[in-house]
């Protein structure tokens, strides 16, 4: 096996980091979905009416994000292109989605947007790893 194909067969550290961050993203999204399903009083007091009382709709969306992010993390660890594509898509949608929460919870919003940007960077920086044939 040549050096080039051997280098492509090993998972780059940024890809492993992106997969771990997808698992972290899934955990945060799932935790936040539970808070929204339970209509947490500290959260409802800080919303200022910007969500119109439809927290259960956000909770369903967050639950879907968590499931897809978790599966994408597993697929990224395997080197699958599904994980790369859906990891980028989910992290992009999640970053846009957390902009809506900046008035209500600015610190968690900033932290989640930062995690999403790191996931996108890790998956895009090593896109050649996902295009390599499996050894």
φ and ψ of 49, to 5 deg: 75, 5
For the chain, the distance separating the N- and C-terminal CA atoms, rounded to the nearest angstrom, is 10
Q: Hey, what are 133's tokens?
A: 């044939």
Which residues touch 60 (CB under 8 Å, ≥6 apart)?
Answer: 33
Contact 83/15 with Cβ under 8 angstroms? no
Mean pLDDT score across all residues of the chain: 80
Q: Hey, what are 1's tokens?
A: 């096996």
Biggest alpha carbon distance in the chain?
61
CA distance 101 to 28: 14
Q: Hey, what are 91's tokens?
A: 């992290």
Instruction: Look at the block and give the residue holding tokens 């900046």.
Output: 102
Domain boundaries, the chain: 17-131
Q: Residue ranges of the chain with pLDDT lower than 70?
A: 1-9, 40-54, 132-135
């Amino acid at each position: 096996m040549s050096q080039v194909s051997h280098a492509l067969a090993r998972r780059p550290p940024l890809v492993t980091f992106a997969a771990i961050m997808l698992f972290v993203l899934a955990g945060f999204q799932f935790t936040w979905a539970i808070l929204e399903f339970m209509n947490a009083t500290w959260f409802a007091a800080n919303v200022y009416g910007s969500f119109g009382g439809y927290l259960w709709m956000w909770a369903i969306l967050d639950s879907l994000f968590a499931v897809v992010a978790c599966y994408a993390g597993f697929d990224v660890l395997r080197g699958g292109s599904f994980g790369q594509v859906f990891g980028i898509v989910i992290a992009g949608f999640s970053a846009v989605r957390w902009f809506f929460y900046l008035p209500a919870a600015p610190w968690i919003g900033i932290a989640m947007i930062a995690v999403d940007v790191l996931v996108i960077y890790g998956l895009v920086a090593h896109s050649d790893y996902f295009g390599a044939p499996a050894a």
